[in-house]
Chains A and B, each alone.
Chain A
């Protein structure tokens, strides 16, 4: 399988990471029924699903590439473009929505010059996206940056979180 995939690889998908893809495939016994967990783990390696890697997964599982692409585009968690180092998820569930989550989204987008169409900054530092509910409704409105949950947010507080990260990144 490895040889079949090798020519398709470009500079964007280094060989060292590719070894991890074969490891993931093997751990799931190259079982097509495990396609969703395989893609989830592959995405953890690359932070998104590069097209050539999806083609490789298709070959390894003996599935048409269209099927893999179909699954990857169906589920909201799969990203077909690279995401930022810091993924900011703004919860827009019902509880957060009625407690004014949208002004927070507007403030974050304004600060980072992002929009509904452009979700990741050019320097690949930030991605701003909305999620339908994080189940932390008791803390509404909620912003999650990577794994850290920040509750009872306001637009200035959310922007302050971004400023803190920017300052920290500038130092390192």
Chain B
């Protein structure tokens, strides 16, 4: 850490010092160092940039420190900038240029044109759907149509510098909460803001805090739930990688509100970079005296510990997470008692999601009115979503509640991608939202304003915010089966409805995709799904049937095609998609005849072959053997 001020650490001084150093830079080159860009080679590009700038004889500032009076170009790293598909991303300030898919080979040109000549490298700029080049974030449709509040600093601030965070106003609201605000005042403010849990359930955060605050004083805990296990979601990862201190500040405010002196961050081990950055942030904040025995001179202590999860989805459930921290198997307990009364080691505990906590300092800063001016009445504020799947612009987005699916998928996402081409609404089939606990939204929901309550009304949920776009060639039965495979494997086994129910539902879905099912199977599947929904102990089990029930309701015809006509309309399920030979392409070479293990293909040389479906076992060998792509 580069704590540049004298002891004791002074937030304003550290921020101002960083600001001075920043003011001395002639240009800033910021490389996105989120997981996506790192894997695409961002660090190699950074090293090449530093070398090339030095070779060009330009002064360079590697670390921004108040006491250095060096002037020059600063090459720095940021957290995830959200536009993952276009990585590695390189931003040049103050020119406001954003370069996409930058490689080491592009570096000399960037240095010569932009850093020396002050001109953008046209070919590295983003081109929108119409082929127009966009200079920076202010011109790229993907960014323009978002409202980045929680993500505002992700991609700008250096995630590994406490001073940088102080420079953008960091820890000021924590200081205010600890020094100037009464615990009840903080709870009331958050309650008035209408902030709801961003982890999925949408429980009002202020009420959760108040329930814990009114417990008698003593040992209390604040836990940050960073066990983002939903497949297809990475919002929390990006916040922790991009602005880890904001999460810690949120925890400090929560601690002041409920009277906690100990905090835990329960973090998914699959996110090594987030683990590293959060651990470093805790160490830095501790070294600066922001965490410790005497927080902001109040004489009250607050400490944070980081624990890595060990790969269990159910640990995202509050009581299971607590069991895991206590050193047990991560199995949930019946509620009540709620964690607010009896949580970690039987002490009152509040558990909040990463995004919820990162939002808290921003609400204190902007005020209740400003926060409520975005979003809908019942769901104020903004929400981050991970936009993935068959969509042109995959990445991390933030929009106000009340935005429609059409805005998200077509305006921000740039449309549906099918067969390598960007297509219009006709290629859009569904969006799966809320992961294994959620449901699907279809074309008829494109104009539905999305918030906690409207989604619940149509059998889906906000969940943590994973949004997977699917084109018309996606089999919805296969998607339902995919999620059931996941929940069956992740069911902890404590309660019978979930443990046995998920197993039976998966077995029935297997029958459907393998052509062994009839309409009775579908009726049984629905019945078991409803039972599991009602009778399971925890949220995992209660919501495990959602993907099945949602797809059965919205895509009934597709299920019927699987069980009655025994065919998979999208030809995804192998057993229900017998191969066909296109006579127009078949040259009669005989390759497939030789390859077929059951001798189902016949035909004369140089004449189109045919398949005997009584013999065909749908193994697909003929499809892979045919060099002319005549078999599909």
Contacts and interface: CB of A to CB of B under 8 A. Distances in A.
B118 interface: no
A76 B228 contact: no
Interface in A121-172: 131-140, 142, 147-151
Given A75-B312, A133-B230, A138 B36 contact: yes
Contact of A94 (B87, B328, B388, B396): B388
A20 interface: no
Interface in A49-78: 70-71, 74-78
Interface stretch (A9-17, A29-37, A80-88): A29-37
A81 to B, nearest CB: 16
A109 to B, nearest CB: 16
A148 B40 CA distance: 10
Contacts of B87: 138-139
A128 to B, nearest CB: 17
A47 interface: no
B443 to A, nearest CB: 17
Given A71-B328, A74-B312, A94-B466, A136 B482 contact: no
Interface string B65-97: 000000000000000000011010000000000
A26 B328 CA distance: 20
Contact of A76 (B310, B390, B394): B310
Contacts of A147: 272
Contact of B308 (A40, A76, A139, A142): A40
Given A75-B330, A136-B39, 9 more contacts: A34-B327, A75-B311, A75-B312, A94-B388, A95-B232, A133-B229, A134-B35, A135-B234, A138-B395
B489 to A, nearest CB: 8
A60 B233 CA distance: 39
B234 A36 contact: no
B389 A99 contact: yes
Given A135-B237, A150-B39, A98 B330 contact: no
Contacts of B327: 31-36, 71
Contacts of A131: 270
Contacts of B386: 95, 137-138
B601 to A, nearest CB: 23
| The 6 nearest A-B residue pairs measured at CB | A138-B84, A149-B39, A76-B311, A94-B232, A93-B231, A75-B310
A133 B311 CA distance: 11
Interface string B464-500: 0010101000100001001100100110100000000
Contacts of B326: 33
A98 B390 CA distance: 8
B211 interface: no
Given A98-B389, A147-B272, A135 B228 contact: yes
Interface string B302-313: 000001111111
Contact of B310 (A78, A92, A133): A78
B329 interface: yes
Contacts of B573: none
A151 B324 CA distance: 32
B435 interface: yes
Among A36, A95, A147, residue most surrounded by chain B Cβ atoms (within 10 Å): A95
A95 B312 contact: no
B432 interface: yes
Interface string B130-157: 0000000000000000000000000000
B338 interface: no
Contacts of A31: 327
Given A77-B269, A132-B486, A133-B231, A94 B432 contact: yes
Contact of A137 (B312, B388, B474): B388
A72 B312 CA distance: 12
A76 B39 contact: no
Nearest to B228: A135
Nearest to A131: B270
19 contacts: A32-B327, A33-B325, A40-B310, A74-B329, A92-B231, A95-B231, A95-B232, A98-B390, A132-B231, A132-B313, A132-B490, A136-B39, A136-B84, A138-B84, A138-B234, A138-B396, A139-B39, A140-B389, A151-B36
